Amino acid sequence: MDLGLTGKTAVVTGGSKGIGLAVVRTLVDEGVRVVTGSRSITPELKETSAVPVTVDLSTPEGAAELIERATAELGGIDILVNNVGIGDMSDFVLGGFLDLPEDAWRHNFDLHFYSALRVSRAAMPSLVERAGALVNISSIGARRPGGPIAYDVSKAALTALGKALAIEFGPQGVRVNTVSPGPVSTAVWTDPSGFSGALADSLGIPHDTFVAATMERMAPDTGRITTPEEVARAVAFMLSPNNISGADLHVDGGILKQV
């Protein structure tokens, strides 16, 4: 299916692995020229035709550098996907509201909210000029808190930002939408040394048992976890020419039950 994206230009944040890498691959397959920024460049990313930029997007300098280099490379930006987020265990601090230090809150907001805010602000003039499209990758945790509290709250802020930008820039031709996955089969969930493994260890249960119990509690209608490629296809559709703006598309297998 041709999504009408051939010849477009895109910036994808956090494109080195997981959902971001799947988005990069999907857009490249659709004929999009892609620049992606992340803290590291993986062998899998090098195999794509995307132009990688090594930056720390949790900082103001990283966001500015990414858009400056992307504009120089692409000439202008038609598409922005704000995907950067939790990657390895250095991004996590386990604990409840009374235990979580302020630095952990600040790190989550820098990574999930302020990175998107800064990159969007830097890219918006080009998106307005080209009547472009922006997708933020949030999480169902924004509407179903119960996971790591700082993560869920920062993602709720990101979801609200997407709606606010859609209202402000829709009249100028820029469509802004959010894609909110549930659990996705990336290392965060599948790697015993990753986040889910740390949670399992904290509870004193095997990793496989923890993942199975978590999925049973979340009760997806489809009975399975989402793949990165399924999220990427949803993102590509939201970026394709259409009249969808201000939406929050849940890609969670039916975990969220409310109407």
- State the catalytic residues: 138, 151, 155
Q: Give yes or no for a contact between 212 and 224, defined as CB atoms under 8 angstroms apart.
A: no
Cα 246 to Cα 95: distance, rounded to the nearest angstrom: 33
Cα 169 to Cα 161: distance, rounded to the nearest angstrom: 12
Q: Give yes or no for a contact between 11 and 55, defined as CB atoms under 8 angstroms apart.
A: no
Cα 116 to Cα 162: distance, rounded to the nearest angstrom: 9
Whose CA is closest to 57, among 75, 77, 82, 32? Answer: 82
Each residue of 213-230: b (16+ CB within 10 Å) or e?
ebbeebebeeeebbbbbb
What end-to-end distance do the CA atoms of the chain give, in Å?
A: 30
Question: CA dist 233 to 118, 164, 247, Å?
Answer: 25, 24, 16
CA angle 39, 63, 47 (to 5 degrees): 40
Q: What are the structure tokens assigned to 97, written together?
A: 């509201």
